[in-house]
Chain A
Amino acid sequence: MATAGTDVRSGDNLSESPSARNLGPDSRRRHFRRELGRAWKYRELYLLLLPAILFFVIFRYIPMGGLVMGFQNYSPVRGFLGSPWVGFQHFETLFALPKFLEVFRNTVIISLYKLFIGFPVPIIFALLLNEVRHLLFKRAIQTVTYFPHFLSWVVYGGIMVLFIGPGGAVPEGLEAIGLKMPALLVNPKYFRTILVITNIMKEFGWAAIVYLAAIASIDPSIYEAAMVDGANRLQQTRYITLPGLRGIMGIVFILSMGNILEAGFEQVFVMYNPAVYAVGDILDTYIYRIGLVDGRFSLATAVGLFRSVIAAIMIVMTNHILKRADQPTLW
């Protein structure tokens, strides 16, 4: 999620009662009773929380128990309890597996391409849009550029396939001017480029929103002062607007770094094909294929665990960096 600004730091502590550590056993029991009594007063609130808590237990925590599959030779017939334990064997297999290393590399490469090539586009777009005084034009451009964000990758990828795939407008057009178009979607040379470009086309408009909001929050009197000093619009952009965006640029960049193992599962899944596996296969698609398609549950669970652990470390690190920089954090 690129939605930055969420101050989620909990501001409680006020309500916590003094710790029972220094009290005698008798009063500790009394203290516990009192706490229980206090909690009982809140039973209605706990009842309201119950459905959500049940959801998290069942759909988020119980699957974590299923991670034992990664350390077993899991067989659906024998179940979790009956399947033999193999320790870290799957992980050892994995790190010696050329396919796994390839998939891992693809994931990181695609993410980094998207990050570095895609990062400046919404910023430039927001800066340009900010110069537009014609409100109707501005709104029209925003409406049109935000729209693809709301389409699923199946829809947008489908449109792209019809547009640049065999018989589509792009190859036909190039052929009309005498250029022979290589089949784009099945050619390993072009596949990553297509992922990056189509991703930018779909998301740049929407990604500009946080920058537009940041620009809108810059104090107008700074611009007025600069104008009095004779700064032209380019200079105003260079010395006022851009520095004003530094904070949000940092947040967006760090958040994307934290998502580095998220190379775009849905996009890759709908656009790739066996001809481009060597460059386009990413961790998520690989896990899906070996796990749910081939039924190699244990190996796929091991890959998934590896991915989840790294992702968790990245999120914690991201949060830490944001906190150090005095920016809004997740917790």
Chain B
Amino acid sequence: MSAHIDTTDYEEQPLRARWHSNRLAETTIYGVLLLLGIISMLPIWHTLNASLSSPEKVAQAVLLLWPHDFTLDSYIFIFKGKALIRSFGVTVFITVVGTALNLLVTSAAAYPLSRRDLPGRQFIMLFIMVTFVFSAGIVPGFMLVRSLGLINSLWAMIWPTLVNVFFLILLRNFFENLPDAVIESARMDGSSEMRILFQIVIPMSLPAIATMGLFYAVSHWNEFFRGIFYIYDPAKWPLQVLLRSVVIQANLNEIGFSNQDMYGNAQVSQLTIRAATVTAAIVPMALLYPFVQRFFVQGIVLGAEKG
């Protein structure tokens, strides 16, 4: 850390001048950072306030720094229809089931690969790394999913992302650095490898596995392309696909907003509806974010220091 306070000055003469320039520099730094923070949040903040304001005020006001004519009508409207709730359900399903399977299969594979004495280990690593370097691409992937009969199945968004090579290797490295003594003594006692994995290795690595789980979970929550590629039935759309349709393409009939509403409804407008829909999708992430951030930063720093 280079945060140093220059209270004791070694030279006497330029002290005043330096103090002033430091003051100026300091103010500039804080000012620029504050500006960057505002730039990051402003569009999100504006959208949040638009979702909580009445349509006339949204149409009149330029930038909404707070809700104008506070109202929850837009939220009542979007949750009245089934579409949004259904898509939330789909996304929660693929996030929970997908992450559980990710963690199970990735941990189970990382443990044998962390064992230096495993015959064929290098070959298996090569076999895995090849897929990291070269991928067949979108169309052959689509053909596979189609021939497996997974079109319009939620599993089309779970199976193809079962193991992430990058995470697998990070976890393998983590397992390699666990103290050997405990594992060795368990093996001496005749414990099976499964037992060693589930009763020793995994409990010892919980922080690393939790971090990985959060990475996997965020990627499932944000799943978009597999929804676009493989899910044609709107009733099975994940949240992100519905969001694209409603918020970006403004297909408001998707969530039950008809042309009559457009002209005859003063409670909501298409802008407030779109703002409310996108905000509703952010809320779960925002609630989880404090935990996610802590873990993520730790994980990233851990990875960076290992190198």
Contact = CB atoms under 8 A, between A and B. Distances in A.
The interface centre, meaning the residue of B32, B169, B170, B192 with most chain A CB atoms within 10 A of its CB, is B169
A240 to B, nearest CB: 8
B258 interface: no
Q: Is the interface of A mostly helix, strand, loop or mixed?
A: helix
A271 B34 CA distance: 28
Contacts of A265: 225
B207 interface: no
Given A158-B243, A269-B228, 12 more contacts: A8-B169, A11-B116, A15-B116, A128-B32, A128-B33, A154-B247, A155-B282, A162-B46, A223-B2, A233-B6, A287-B137, A300-B138
Interface string B123-159: 0110111011111111111111000000000000001
A159 B281 CA distance: 11
Contact of A56 (B3, B127, B228): B127
Q: Is the interface of B mostly helix, strand, loop or mixed?
A: helix
Contacts of B113: 49
Contacts of A187: none
Interface residues of B, number: 113
B59 interface: yes
Interface of A: 1, 3-8, 10-16, 35, 38-39, 42, 44-46, 48-49, 51-53, 55-56, 58-67, 69, 125, 128-134, 137, 140-141, 143-148, 150-155, 157-163, 167, 169, 172-173, 176, 201, 204-205, 209-210, 213-218, 220, 223, 227-228, 230, 232-234, 236, 240-241, 248, 265-266, 269-271, 284, 287-288, 291-292, 297, 300-301, 304-305, 307-309, 311-312, 315-316, 327-328, 330-331
B122 interface: yes
B169 A143 contact: no
A213 B301 contact: yes
A162 B247 contact: yes
A233 B304 contact: no
Given A217-B305, A316-B133, A288 B138 contact: yes
Interface string B26-50: 1001101110110111011011001
A125 B22 CA distance: 19
